[in-house]
Amino acid sequence: MTEMTMTGAINQAIDQEMARDTRVFVAGEDVRVGGPFGTEAGLLDKYGPKRVVNTAISELALTGLGVGAAAVGLRPIIEIMIMDFVTVAMDQIVNQMAKMKYMLGGQATLPIVVTTHAGIDSSSAAQHSGSLEAWFCHVPGLKVVMPSNAYDAKGLLAASIRDDNPVIFISNKRCMQTSGDVPEGDYLVPLGVADIKRPGKDVTLVVTGRMVLEGLEAASELAREGIEVEVIDPRTLSPLDFTTILESVRKTNRAVVAHEAVEFCGVGAEIAATISDRAFDDLDAPVKRVGAPFTPVPFAPMLEDIYRPDKDAIVRTVRELLTG
């Protein structure tokens, strides 16, 4: 095991998969100099310009390049710098990438990974701070992955690259420099399998991306009050591991769902609805949600701090749930 950042873990996953399979290549804006977050650092020197492809500033063209390459047998990794920019490429992602295998009766497979970076950070303002994962969870044909730490990031990305279906791989910007122990060798974290980050018996807390870190801090604070929170990281948002979530809820009889995205129509709404639908008789209280307000992300640092969901919001919600 080696301690490394999530950035380093993603870089290592791409490196190992490119070494393992010559069909794998990476394309995006500035990837030859390491990419916007350093996740492609050093790859140009190892694999050359044919497999590390700088593109024009056109997410539509870049994603179309990946769709075409995947359809003829390559395994592209398409880097879209900031998640808000996927809006430019939505036709290629939603109408081509997600649907081509189905519309061609399985004659074409689309082993393509779109990596992108989401989340609220450093006053990046409304067009550079989005968490749009719910959009893609709503599209049949796409898998959606959102790691919260270095270990999961490396294993999930390797599994995504080897998958024969399109995968949207979302890293939260505030998680990129967090560190953890990561195996140096090859390993996979299977898609569609949640992880219990902290066991507990009083409340089930389902958290995604950066909010996993906030959730673990909240659980530690609540533990000092005698409240044992079970923290679950889905890791993959589509397909979603409802088996693990429902087993936890049937044990704790209470649930809170938290994500950084806008609360309205977020992934948390689907999780809360499914818990209410499939574990209603096990609940001692309604499912609670934590998410961002229904406004664009503000630029001003003070407003951004107020807007961003955090540990304190989770702690307040858990206390409200338990006190009624």
Strand partners, 168: 114, 144
Is 59 a catalytic site residue? yes
Rounded distance between C-alpha atoms, residue 272 and residue 283, angstroms = 12
Question: For 191, which DSSP code?
Answer: T
- Give every CB contact of residue 249 below 8 A, 6+ residues apart in sequence: 204, 255, 275, 279, 282, 283
CA pair distance 311, 324, nearest whole angstrom = 20
In the set 17, 40, 59, 270, the catalytic residue is 59
Q: How far apart are CA 85 and CA 36, in angstroms?
A: 13
Helix axes 210-223, 311-323, angle to 10 degrees: 50
Query: Which residues contact residue 48 at a Cβ distance below 8 angstroms, ignoring those fewer than 6 apart?
Result: none
Q: What's the token pair of residue 105?
A: 């009766």
- Cα(206)–Cα(234) distance, rounded to whole angstroms? 7
Which is catalytic among the residues 29, 40, 128, 230? 128
Could you tell me how far CA 188 lies from the centroid of its own chain?
Answer: 16
Return the DSSP state at 262: E
Exposure string over 206-228, b if 16+ CB within 10 A, otherwise e: bbbbbbbbbbbebbebbeeeebe
Determine how many CB atoms are found less than 10 A away from the CB of residue 65: 18
Q: Which residues contact 190 (CB under 8 A, 6 or more apart)?
A: 159
Name 243's Cβ contacts closer than 8 Å, sequence gap at least 6.
none
Task: Assess contact for 144 and 137: CB atoms under 8 A.
Answer: yes
The reply to whether 263 belongs to the active site is: no
Active-site amino acid positions: 59, 128
